[in-house]
A and B are shown apart, each in its own frame.
Chain A
């Protein structure tokens, strides 16, 4: 009915926006000076080699033709091959994306959960020492300079205290050993995840907590909280059933978009922790003018953000009965 129609309209909007974004990306990347073939500085590359390479990438054709080919392939579901890797873009993304999701999406979920639960507690005890100290901690951690905190944590926990691996996602020696069981491997990955996850958690936690706190403060001013108290509900019941449920709504929006954006990973975190994710690949692709890869990666993010927006809206309607489409 209403919601169905709404979703349909929004889905069409998404498809249209998607192609607009595709076009913009196409233009943006080609407008940037330098093409991937002529950018190579190698004494062995003859001018003929450069021409051959350009033809290989389809860069010898006029721009409008390149664009049409790009569109055609896109509709056919072919996303092309990376100039740099020579492999289909989908393969590269399929290789890196799970790693990114494992780290970044997990970190968003964990920090959102922790942020929500802490935010509601400190809002409940607003003005207390707990509230002021946790708020300050949240603010500080939210504004921390990521490379700094990451390197510091690596240095302290991985190098100095030797509790965690310095970087990477697995211990090669362990994985190369045929006797290593699957549990060990899973634990090994978890072990590698602890530090980067802690860093990301530190960075994201504060944001969620502060949003939840202020939202909760607003909610606590509402009369239905007093009503709930008059009904004889325990403080805990009031906080969880009446206040937190309503206060969590704005966090849902933030969370939805953060989750969508989390799949582009973070080049800095990935670089410092040598985490084989998509973020570094993306930066690399952009600076190498690896159009197909960069284009698809950005499109993927755009698509996810668009869809996440829709999901958030629908979810909102579901969570908040006041909203109707």
Chain B
């Protein structure tokens, strides 16, 4: 393994008293200057993972290495890492400037320099005019930004954010997502953000770590995660995906051919997938990569429409094949000529040029 990752978790496990497994042998490399999101359902260990990085939890086994230095047993105050807490954790007995200057005052930064940096940090988050305000006078969004300023003013090697936007309303949240992204790239700082909102993770992350039951399911860029989910869990968690049991029927150059019931599927094998004839795999295909044709064709399978749901630019059809497999198909609304109805038989095919993916259990 190369030694250039900024933060590396090596086989980190965390068992809580009572036998709850918070983290299960997590390996993770965080690169300089990236925006990494930890994504997963409630209770999957995202917060625990972040707290191990911050130093609030000591791993039961495994190592935490920051820029080549083992920091596994360092206390939080000895780590060049800062956290934005989910409840912001602003000190109610200090005003905004004192909150933001707290970290600097502990580092023995001269008072004049402190003032300058506090003002700069507050300007950066757009709260330059609130420097003398009391915490109780701030709105939720403003508190969030003070918490952000308080952490970045310490110039951490890594900024950890635990669901920083979850307490904000939808409008403000979208705005703050862009703000976070802008801050991160203008500072060139490494951000690690916990979220359970896949849209949020997909829209602002450089890479996403999908976690489930204390384990890492997949680490990938948003596009790769969407296009090539590695496991059933990721496929089900990110967007909507049809999970189909399919039989391998042959190879055609770089294309692998499968048959799911009567529905022929093909996927381009970039890896040297060693499939043998007759082998069963779970294949994932997005609803928009399926086409509902009015007429039967060479590579179509009949399916009966059970329901049609309006989905903005597409109509989402739930259909079932003769073999009983449930399909979700997104049809662009203009292309619905002629219109289908519930109960109709359509002939489903894979959209030409679209690929599907093999999913691990």
Does chain A bind chain B?
Answer: no
